[in-house]
């Protein structure tokens, strides 16, 4: 979809199940080996009482929506604000959602509402992003 075709209110999403293997792969990839993500015994004694996925795993799913769906390939991430609302537990299926709030035609920029929900429809992450739309 081109910048011109995008309309205020346009939305798209992408889902992922935060299973144990996904969390382990993410931890190895970014080097965040915090035991609250990887160790059941440690996590049971934590604030969360069980293992949780990395918050940035959920945030990364927003990036996937931006780069593959809305606005899609060629888009350039310029800014992101995030507020983590609740944990993502292992086994949760999370859905990253993006909605166009504003279009700035001079530079083909979009302001977007970005948020992630769990399978119960509860918001786990809320924020906004600015994206530059480029077509190649």
Buried/exposed code over 39-60 (b: 16+ C-beta within 10 A; e: otherwise): eeeebeeeeeeebbbbbebbbe
CA–CA dist 104, 89 (Å, integer): 37
Q: Model's pTM, two decimal places?
A: 0.93
Mean local confidence (pLDDT), 104-115: 95
CA–CA dist 80, 130 (Å, integer): 7
Strand order in the sheet with 123-132: 11-17, 93-104, 109-117, 123-132, 76-84
Q: What is the pLDDT of residues 57-98, one digit of tens each?
A: 999 999 999 999 999 998 999 999 999 999 999 999 999 999
Q: What is the pLDDT of residue 33?
A: 96
At 136, is the pLDDT very low, low, confident or very high (cuts 50, 70, 90)? low
- Give percent of the chain above pLDDT 90: 93
Q: What is the pLDDT of residues 16-27, one digit of tens each?
A: 999 999 999 999
**The pLDDT of residue 1 is above 90:** no
Go through the domains of the chain in sequence order and give each one's CATH number: 11-132 (3.10.129.10)
Give the residue, 90 or 5, on which the prediction is more confident. 90
């Amino acid at each position: 979809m081109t910048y011109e075709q995008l309309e205020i209110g346009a939305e798209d999403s992408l889902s992922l199940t935060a299973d144990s293997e996904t969390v382990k792969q993410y931890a190895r990839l970014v080097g965040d080996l915090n035991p609250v993500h990887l160790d059941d015994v440690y996590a049971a004694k934590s604030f969360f009482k069980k293992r949780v996925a990395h918050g940035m795993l959920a945030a990364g799913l927003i990036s996937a929506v931006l780069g593959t769906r809305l606005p899609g390939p060629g888009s350039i991430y310029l800014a992101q604000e995030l507020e983590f609302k609740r944990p993502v537990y292992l086994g949760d299926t999370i859905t990253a959602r993006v909605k166009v709030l504003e279009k700035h035609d001079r530079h083909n920029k979009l302001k977007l509402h970005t948020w992630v929900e769990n399978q119960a429809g509860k918001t786990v992450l809320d924020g906004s992003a600015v994206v530059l739309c480029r077509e190649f």
